[in-house]
Every structure is written in C-alpha cells, then in structure tokens.
Amino acid sequence: MLEVKPSWESWQLLIKKGRQVWAFKPDSDDTEKHLDNVSSLTEADIQQFSKDFSFDSRNNPNSGDNVFRHQYYNQNYKEFSGSRPVLQDAEQQKIVDALINGINYFSSLQNEEGFWSGDYGGPLFLLPGLLIASYITKEAFPKPHQELMKIYLFNHQNQDGGWGMHIEDDSTMFGTVMQYVSLRILGLNKDDGRLVQARRWIMDHGGATGIPSWGKFYLATMNLYHWDGFNSLFPEMWLFPKWLPVHPWRYWCHSRMVYLPMAYCYAHRIQVPENELILSLRQEIFIDEYTEINWPKQRNEVCEKDSYTIQSPVLKWMNIFTNTYEKFHSKWLRKKALAYLLDYIHAEDLQTKYINIGPVSQAINSICIWHAHGKDSDQFQNHVNRWYDYLWVAEDGMKMCGYNGSQLWDVAFTTRAILESDIAQLFKPTIEKSYRFVEKMQILKQHSTHEQFFRHPSTGGWPFSTVDHSWPIADCSAEGMSTTLSIHHSGIVKPVVTEERLKKAIDVILGFQNKDGGWATYELTRAPKWLEKLNPSEIFADIMIDYSWTECSSTCVQTLMEALDEYPGYKTEKIHSAIIQGLKFIINKQKEDGSWYAGWGVCFTYATWFAIETLARARKKGLYDADIIGQSITKANGFLISKQKLDGGWGETYKSCADLVYTEAKESQVINTAWALLSLMAADFKNKQIIDQGIHLLLERQTELGDWLQEGISGVFNYNCMITYSAYRNTFPIWALNRYYKLFLC
Ligand code: LAN
C-alpha cells in the first residue's frame, strides 16, 4: 500500500466523459455535484492540510502527482498474473520484468473510462488569473479549495521571496506580483513573513509598474494599474476586412482567443471598485505613490527579469497609432466591435461547452460573460462550473492546469507504447479501455457557428484533451488515428471505428498541411512571419501565428504513411505528395549539429525522436531518397551519442527551450533517455552498447512498484513557459523498454 495522507483522502477525483474534477469529501461520484459538500471544512482539516501538503520545492519543484497516484494505486493495483516471457539470460530477464512491471503499475492508474488522469500544471500565472476572475465576479472558491491554493502558492515561492513564470523558473515580476496579489485575495495578511519577503523582491526590482503587459492587464482589472498604463488593444481591428494580414482571424488561435476577451475588458475598462484591500495593495506593490504614477509612461516598462522578447519598432508605431485612436475613437464603431467580441465569446462557449480553448481565455471570458449577463446568468454559472475542470490537486497543493487535461494525448502515447510489441497481448483490458476512450474522443460534429468564427474544419479530428473541448489539433488527430489503427491491428478489440471515420481523419490531417510542407498546431498558418513583429507579450516568442513544427509534422507524416498502407487507393497521390513535402520540411529543419529543436517538449531529444522516427520509417518504405535520409539519420545519431552522459543516460533542462541551445541537466533524466533510446533504436543504430547503457539507466531508476520518479519538467510552450506532462515518466521508459524487447529479446 502507498501512503495516502489523511487529508489527501478527503479529496476525490470524479470522472465523466473525460472530464476530471477534484471534489472535497463528495457525497456522490457525479461530476456535476462536485461542489455539494464543500462547507464541511473544519479548523482541524485546515491544520491537517498544512501537514499533509507540505512540500519542499528546493529538492524538486515538480510534484510527483502522488495524491492521485497513491489513491488509484491502492484501489486498483493487482500483481501481474499473466504468463511472463521467460528468458535464459538473467540480465535480459530483468529488462522484461522492468517492462512488465512498468506497464502493470501504470495500468493501475488508468480509470474505467480508459484514460490516465494527471497533473498538467507548471505555469504559475494561470491560477492568479482565475483568482482575479473570481474576485472581480465575487464568485469565491469554496474554503477547502482556497486553503489548498494558498498552500500551492507558498510551496512554489523561491528562496529569494519571488516566484517565476513557471515552477522551475527564477523569480520574475510577473510571477511574483501575480502570486502576491493572489495570496492577498485569498486572505493572507500583508505582514505575513513570506509576503514581506515577496514585497522586498518586488521593490528591489523596480516595483509592479514593470510587470509585463499580461500582468498589467490583470492588475488593471483589479484596479491596481491604471488602464492608461496599458497599450490599447484596439477592439475595432476585429472589424477590419478579412483579407488584411493583420486581421486577428489570422493569429494563432491561442493568442486570438486571449486577446479577444482582453479587448472586451479593455474597452469597457472593467475594474473592481476601490476597497480596503485594493487601496492597501496599491501601497504594497509600487515604489511611488499610486496617484502620482505617470501611467502612460509605464505602458512599455518591463522588468529586466521578465523581458524575453523585445518590442519591435513596428509594434511601437502601431501602439502610438492605437493609443492616439483610443483618445478620439468613434462610439458607434466601438459599440459595433464590442457586440462582435461578445458574439465571438458566446460562440466559443457553445463550441467548447464552456471549457474554452485554454486556461487564460477561460478566466478572462468568465469576466466578460459576468459583465455582459450578470452573476446569476446561466452563461456565467456555466463558466464557473468549468473552472473546476482546470484545477488539480497534488502533494504541492491545488494548482490550475494548462488545459482541461491531456487525456487523449496520454492515452495515445501510452497505448502505442504498450502496443510496440506483442507484450500488449498480456494487457488486453488496458488496451480495450484505451480503445473505448479514443473512440469516444473523436470529433464527429462541429457547432453551427464554426465557420463564422474562423474555425478550421474539425470533423474526424481528435483533440488534445476531450471531445467536449473539441478543438482538434493536427498532431493529436494523427495520434488519435494511429492509436486506433494500432489497436485494430493488435486484434485485441472488435473494431468499431469505421473506415469512413478514419478516412475523415485522413482528410483532416491532409487539410492541416501548410504550404511549407509542415504542420502547425490547431490551424493552418494564416499570415506571414512578419506578423510576429506585432507580438506584444514580452514574455513569449512566436505567438502571433501558427507555425509549422517538427513534432507536429513528424506525427502527421507518420500517420499518413500508415494511411497509405491501410487504405491503398484512397487519395493515394495526394497522401504521397503530402508525405514527400512533409519529409522535406523535416529534413530542412535539422540543425547543423544533427538535432532538431522542439516547440512543445524539452527539447532537442524530443524533436529529434519525432524526426528520426519519421525518417526511419520513410526509409524502410522507400518513400524518399535513401541517401538523403541516411545522411540525416547519421548526423542525428552523432548528435545523440555526443550528448550521452557517463551514466548512460541523457538529460536536458528547460533552458534548452528558452535559450535554443542544448543545455545539459546535472543528472540524466529518464524521459530524455527514453527519447534518445527510441530514436537510436528506430534508426537501427549499430552500437548496441550505447543502447544497453541507456536501458540500464532506465532499469536503475525504476522504483520497486514499476514507476519512475518525477524528475525535471518536460513540456513547454512559446519557448519560455514550461508545463508538466506527468504521464511521460511512465509512457516513454515503457516505450523504450518495449522497443528494446521487440528488437533484441523476442
Ligand atoms: C499545448 C498542449 C499540447 C500541445 C501538443 C499537442 C503537444 C503540441 O504537439 C502542439 C501544441 C499543443 C496543442 C499545445 C499548444 C499550447 C498550449 C495549448 C499547450 C502547451 C497547453 C497550454 C498551452 C496554452 C497556450 C497555455 C495558455 C497560455 C497562453 C500563452 C495563451
């Protein structure tokens, strides 16, 4: 049995159709009733919370997802009772045993619906956004949630008193001021020693005037920053003709869906009325007297700890224009633009069943809907209901996740990892459950407002999380399809996903290919690269348009290769040419040292795995010039070997992503090791000793239960913010061991 601390037990994860919400002492397992019993928190409960959720982030700021894992393990774990392959060689037997234990352990965490829940935290600016929304709308979180949020925020305070943008980050003004304000909203006294220390950090770094623009926005809604200190968001640009390259329909959907409600709040100058807390906070976070601050001068002030991208001259000029327009704007046009923004938010709400595309837009949309329809409106209450889809409880407290989960993504990878060899036949129930889930998550219809609001065709695609979220993503669609096919081929289930549905998936994947031959995330690239010059965020790079990525392109090419085999005769020429263009794109992205840079994982080992896997498959199928592929793979192998550590493993830190250079972690990391091993094995790398050393590290690091410990963070977005993928520590070591088993042991 694993230890479940007393107060962990009072939190239960409720599941429905992929939805996952944590409920405090729930009366039933109905997700809709997760708030029914939350008033029963006692003083003793609170004390127990602070004992049971004490967490030392100096050791490792990444929690191990133990609240969920220990509960599930205790409820579901069964000794493996199937017939294990028996090998002559004791060392080899250890590898098979590690593989079986790894799958057996992880299967115990799969729920009845067939997916793996998990922590998807990491960024530290999300929870504050939601707390600010809850403060403005006076829709407070229940006490138990508030207590656990406080614990989380303190658990991630850095030694210097500040907070970073994500859990591994050094302190920044954005991180520090946002957590500081959050803690004050949650009722902490300003004289609390930890807040005093945080204030010192803020003052030592120039005060909150230098918070980056997203922070300025949140502070403005809190009446802690004058709206004059914020560059205009020019809501009228939504009324531009669609052919203009700067029309926001062309932005990357996440930027579009964040700047949309931000523009609404800006135009209405939404702000909470002054009150005691606000007046006090104004004295706590600024160096100068609040009323004396020259606000327009602060618009472009950014603390140097935060500055990641620098404002371009084009953006500066545009700001001068839009800020001037703001002074004289036409009331009629403004009204029209605001009506349009609200219609758009309504459509997004209906399309996503109020989940919304992501955590930032969910919180800001909630504010807009509250402003437009009031606290008691169904629309607002539906939003509030979905706030809980983003919250997660782990041993470091309650956090807000980067999405409403990574359900489909994790099922796809994990299932494919198990299906890598015949070992899967020993885990039929796991695969059957996965199949049920993947089948249910395919997007089969789209909302009537889809086209009107610039959505890319969805039907046949798969999302990253759940079908209710319903934004399909290029590589998630490909993963969904590949997983379905792999399960069909295993013979473990009776197929129910029809040929027609899979052909729709192929169409979706084809429809996502860009002119440059690659694949982006949710949509096609809709505007030229120079639009990036208008990126106003200061803290993220490449957020303006949806770019083609090595990882997304690789997955799509792999799935299209499978489609060729599966449905010979179906759009063969088109698929063939899409594959060739895709391969060219991938080869062109290879760096001089043989590696690929990743946009969504940490980092070079991640993208290199995707690329090699794809190129090696293309080589086997004879789909591309063998010499060119051969050279590329040889170079990539050279890169990987050069990065192997003395203990046989590989390890990168998040700095690889932010600095764009390979940054070695002090210790090897099992996830990086698994990616490197998967690549080398896919490439038929001949020096087996190197592979053996890596496999040895995976075995050494495996716990007795068959788990691996959580090490460094492994996901990223927009180069500069990191995000947790809690399933990766199991999925990828399992996958690497299983490939080794297939190639060398059976
Ligand atoms: C994700 C999560 C999944 C990820 C993959 C599918 C892994 C990737 O291959 C493509 C990009 C995608 C879909 C992705 C894009 C950016 C997201 C949505 C996230 C990292 C999860 C959270 C992040 C989102 C932008 C966070 C909110 C912050 C903003 C800057 C708006």
**Does one domain contain both 396 and 439?**
no
**Does one domain contain both 325 and 382?**
yes
Mean pLDDT across 388-411: 98
**Is residue 37 pLDDT above 80, yes or no?**
no
**Is residue 36 pLDDT above 90, yes or no?**
no
**Does one domain contain both 295 and 390?**
yes
Q: Tokens in use for 249? A: 């329909």
Pick 27 or 340 by higher pLDDT.
340
**Is residue 313 pLDDT above 90, yes or no?**
yes
Tell me the pLDDT band of 80, cut-offs 50, 70 and 90. Answer: very high
CA of 339 to the centre of ligand 1 (A): 29
Residue 87 falls inside a structural domain? no
The bridge status of strand 715-717 relative to strand 664-669 is unpaired
Tell me the pLDDT band of 671, cut-offs 50, 70 and 90. Answer: very high
Mean pLDDT across 484-512: 98
In Å, how far are 209, 227, 295 from 292, measured between CA atoms? 12, 15, 9
Range in 23-37, 455-469, 539-553, 680-694 the model is least confident about: 23-37
Residue 554 falls inside a structural domain? yes
What is the reported pLDDT for 40? 80
Structural element, H or E, at residue 170: none
Q: Tokens in use for 12? A: 């239960």
Nearest C-alpha neighbor of 219 from the set 162, 170, 282? 282
**Does one domain contain both 548 and 677?**
yes
What is the reported pLDDT for 15? 97
CA distance linking residue 21 with residue 681, whole number of Å:
39
User: Which residue's CA is the nearest one to ligand 1's atom 12?
Assistant: 521
Residue 652 falls inside a structural domain? yes
Q: Is 357 in the pocket of ligand 1 (CB under 6 A)?
A: no
Quick check: 21 and 34 in contact, CB under 8 A?
yes
Which atom of ligand 1 is nearest to 522's Cα?
13
Q: Is 215 in the pocket of ligand 1 (CB under 6 A)?
A: no
**Is residue 38 pLDDT above 90, yes or no?**
no
Q: Is 551 in the pocket of ligand 1 (CB under 6 A)?
A: yes
In Å, how far are 28, 332, 479, 596 from 464, measured between CA atoms? 28, 40, 10, 23
CA of 165 to the centre of ligand 1 (A): 16
What is the reported pLDDT for 713? 98
Among 373, 400, 427, residue at a domain's last position? 400
**Does one domain contain both 394 and 411?**
no
666 three-class SS: strand
**Does one domain contain both 366 and 507?**
no
**Does one domain contain both 441 and 581?**
yes
Q: Is 392 in the pocket of ligand 1 (CB under 6 A)?
A: no
Mean pLDDT across 20-24: 96
Pocket of ligand 1, candidates 362, 464, 465, 553: which has the most ligand atoms within 8 Å of its Cβ, to mutate? 464
CA of 586 to the centre of ligand 1 (A): 21
**Does one domain contain both 370 and 427?**
no
Among 370, 400, 430, residue at a domain's last position? 400
Q: Burial level of 84, CB count in 10 A (0-12/13-18/19+)?
A: middle
The domain that holds 167 is classified in CATH as 1.50.10.20
Residue 5 falls inside a structural domain? no
**Does one domain contain both 556 and 483?**
yes
Residue 25 falls inside a structural domain? no
User: Which residue's CA is the nearest one to ligand 1's atom 13?
Assistant: 521
Vertex 433: Cα angle to 428 and 434 (nearest 5): 100
Mean pLDDT across 312-318: 94
Domain count, the chain: 2
What is the reported pLDDT for 322? 96
Pocket of ligand 1, candidates 252, 409, 473, 731: which has the most ligand atoms within 8 Å of its Cβ, to mutate? 473
**Does one domain contain both 411 and 379?**
no
**Is residue 287 pLDDT above 80, yes or no?**
yes
Give me the chain's average pLDDT, please: 97
**Does one domain contain both 274 and 346?**
yes
Residue 556 falls inside a structural domain? yes
Q: Which of 65, 169, 475, 507 is catalytic?
A: 475
CA distance linking residue 723 with residue 524, whole number of Å:
24
Range in 32-41, 50-59, 68-77, 362-371 the model is least confident about: 32-41
CA of 464 to the centre of ligand 1 (A): 9
Quick check: 423 and 738 in contact, CB under 8 A?
yes
Q: Is 600 in the pocket of ligand 1 (CB under 6 A)?
A: yes
Residue 436 falls inside a structural domain? yes
Mean pLDDT across 711-729: 98
Q: Is 359 in the pocket of ligand 1 (CB under 6 A)?
A: yes
Among 365, 383, 400, residue at a domain's last position? 400
707 an active-site residue?
Answer: no
CA of 717 to the centre of ligand 1 (A): 6
Q: Is 252 in the pocket of ligand 1 (CB under 6 A)?
A: no
pLDDT tens sequence across 410-459: 999 999 999 999 999 999 999 999 999 999 999 999 999 999 999 999 89
CA of 583 to the centre of ligand 1 (A): 24
Peptide bond before residue 303 is cis, with ω within 30 degrees of 0: no
Share of the chain above pLDDT 90, in %: 97
**Does one domain contain both 282 and 411?**
no
Residue 53 falls inside a structural domain? no
- Between the two ends of the chain, the Cα-to-Cα distance in Å is 33
How many other CB atoms are found less than 10 A from the CB of residue 714? 29
The residue written with tokens 């030392």 in the block is 56
Residue 339 domain boundaries: 126-400
